Amino acid sequence: MPKTRVLIVDDHALVREGITAFLKMYDDIEVVAEASDGLEAIEKVKKFTPTLF
């Protein structure tokens, strides 16, 4: 089964880092990118293609 590709979006770098570190504990999840706001998130969705549900 392929990994779930995740994009982390939050305006606080420390929060993004914490969530990323937590998710890296799971073998079936891959954090593909981080973004600090909605506009950056849209660009990163286009570039890194996280899993869409």
Residue 13 has pLDDT above 90, yes or no: yes
Predicted TM-score (pTM) of this structure: 0.89
Query: Is-contact 32 16, C-beta < 8 A?
Result: no
| pLDDT digits 0-9 by tens, 20-48 | 999 999 999 999 999 999 999 999 999 99
Query: Is-contact 23 29, C-beta < 8 A?
Result: yes
Of residues 1 and 12, more confidently modeled:
12
Q: How far apart are CA 38 and CA 41, in angstroms?
A: 5
Q: What CATH code is assigned to 4-48?
A: 3.40.50.2300
Q: Residues 3-29: what's their mean pLDDT?
A: 98
pLDDT of residue 1: 83
